[in-house]
Amino acid sequence: MSTPASTQLGQAIRAEAAKLATSAETAAVPAEFFDASELLRVLARIVEGKSIDQAFGAPGDWGYGTPIGDAFYALLKEPLPGSADVPVGSNNSEREASS
């Protein structure tokens, strides 16, 4: 189920992938590849069965004020599916039980 925050997070991830592609073409400084390489690690964690909030860590790991950090923070503040009161990031066991 797509929500505004999950759409925002998807767009932020695609933007990082586009930056990586551009950097690779222009042989930019390797430090610019950090987010892209970490996103691959996040994908691996999701594939291994971790929830999105477990796979991404904390919004601050990505940097508050960055597209991914802000989008991930917004996603964590969204209510769990079927509950208008409980944010996604407040209880992993409830989130996993609803999956």
**pLDDT tens, position by position, 49-86:** 888 889 999 999 888 898 899 999 999 998 877 766 66
Say how far apart CA 93 and CA 65 lie, in whole Å. 28
Predicted pLDDT of residue 31: 57
| Token digits of residue 83 | 């509950």
Mean pLDDT of the region 39-50: 81
Say how far apart CA 59 and CA 66 lie, in whole Å. 9
Q: Tell whether the model's pLDDT for residue 98 goes beyond 70.
A: no
pTM of the model: 0.59
Say how far apart CA 50 and CA 27 lie, in whole Å. 33
Close Cβ partners of 21 (under 8 Å, ≥ 6 residues apart): none
Say how far apart CA 73 and CA 38 lie, in whole Å. 17
Say how far apart CA 25 and CA 86 lie, in whole Å. 44
Residue 54's Cβ-count burial label (10 Å; 0-12, 13-18, 19+) is: middle
